[in-house]
Structure 1
């Protein structure tokens, strides 16, 4: 079986590190050997890369686009460096400045083009790091896209089939057949021609892809679809609309969040759990028989199960798939205290440290809740596009604990999706701060 390339997410962070090394080495060789100056140069580059979206380069991005981004980035970067040197009155000859500028720009141009070619050749030769795709609809635009997928294997797409209700077209099946095919063949991305679909069919594909955690993209025409919040890219000359852009799909953002998770959870484990576990563990055991920790299998990212840890707050019972309710008789005396203060959740920082959870994200629900709400609540399954969190935006906005009404789960889902589509490290820090504040203020639904 051909590998889909599990290490693809490491490429962009490694690229970032290598770029910073090139900048540091060039600046050290041509301009200055002072560490503080080199640190400022690195900060300039990182700031500009965010401003220009310099690392938002995808498998379908053309070389001309890469060169354009690089030119803008390097030009402003060099202006910042020379302004910095001028303000600090660092005397460097014009000859060295010119050599540094030319060297940096052309090294980056050469490095980027070679890398782009290497990745394309690598995908062709090994068949690795590909996405399995299908097309819905038959017309001139879908023919161009199919040709692109078949003739450009270096971009990393494996065309699996075309589905349409047009009987005169050579196809893999009709539109209705596509739903089972997607699940049976582990399709990654679905490309729908808006011309071929009614609004009802478009809505069904959106809901289907949300529930089954698939990527849905549209080949547009003049329908009202343009009025929605879509993201436009081009595959060769074919325009493609992406339904949503998830910041954590960017490997660089993913690495930033993971580094933060490891550091934050490590601090909690070393400075809090190291002494809290033996003390609280003894109290839990003295009050009721059973283990210190309660482990429960819950759905995580891509709906993959993982063992979620908590301090045990209930007596041993056979109703673990039933959420705690107000005045629940299963909860022990110490359990009421640790649940009210959210101390029972602290062992989940072990989950964070080892990678099955994040500090901030949608709270992991019970499997039973997924079965109940997945088919009923629109976009509920989008929650599984990212790792679940110890805390989350929905929780700090008052939608934690027991789900008493339909409004509770609908609003919780809305907040979770807003978080997923608008993630930033600043947002995470704000949620963490609000979580700590809520612990001290007390929360009505913390029981």
Structure 2
């Protein structure tokens, strides 16, 4: 048989036939690879992690929510400063509005690429379906409560929580017809306060300033039976020490200004949880407008990458300082959740992987003695925040409750000699030496 017959009459030699066959085989294999089940990442798209729940907090802090390769090939997330995002044509607008095309939101109040990347990283750290960032921790708290509650409904808060949260509930939510109960941070008290109209239980873990830890299991069991949403402000814990969603909590909130940002250079808040709940909160945010700017989102992304490293250091240093304080005769009492003398120690050991970076303690001698101690410290700065790389110290009676009388402060549990120490990432030996010196001056 002539060779031209084998080649089907094609010009050239056998090498041409083999080249044609391999080209066909490669094209067929490539097409099949795109038709097989499962997502295929493209440049600039978010990549789903393989078994992300098995990855440690440091790995999630660095790589969580990040694409395999960015469209611009940059290693870090770029800062996108834009108030609006134009459409190529009306067809793209239709596709976007109908939900058939993924692209940036049309307006900056509804989304920003840099902010969305930070949201994805927080969601990965918390093991959440979704997260939404806002302009501050209080914006996250107030927007969430406003989105979840209506007139005639009821909310339960625990007493030992951030003061502005309680003030918002009593003064703003009550003004809109929401009934508010503020109870002791115990499971029994929270469950007893639940009513037929209760829609939300809100607490902190640990609380501020006495670092109380609520036993979540019985509260969540009762809340689910009554269709009540549970919300936890876990700012003091961070995802490194506790992931509330794993215990059945519906929503977790952080003042990202604190540990998540970690450098005292931004204001931000975040809510994480099921996509349906977060979506409802995001819709409310689109009306209230307390959105996070892209510059702060970039700072948050950068800070998050070292979250686990910082928190582990702060856990260890705070534990050492708590033990030092407990042994000093100038100190009347110490509150640190993983110390055996804390009222919720047994509960804390079940929920917390670390005790956190805050130590609260009471000195003998009241307000004046506390002032002498604070002014004698050289490393911690006198400031009303926490969670950053710098150690900070404050007296709640002066910083947060200055306008109240001593009797009024005592009535709400704020002791005159109370000091709150937020431990940074300085060498623990230096912090110990500084604290010992200040305590010695207090005793002299």
Asked whether the two chains share a fold, i.e. TM above 0.5, the reply is no
Which structure's CA Rg is the greater one? 2
Which structure would you say has the larger RCO, counting Cα contacts within 8 Å and 6 or more residues apart? 2
What TM-score do you get using the length of structure 1 for normalisation?
Answer: 0.26
Considering fraction of residues, name the structure with more helix. 1
What TM-score do you get using the length of structure 2 for normalisation?
Answer: 0.26
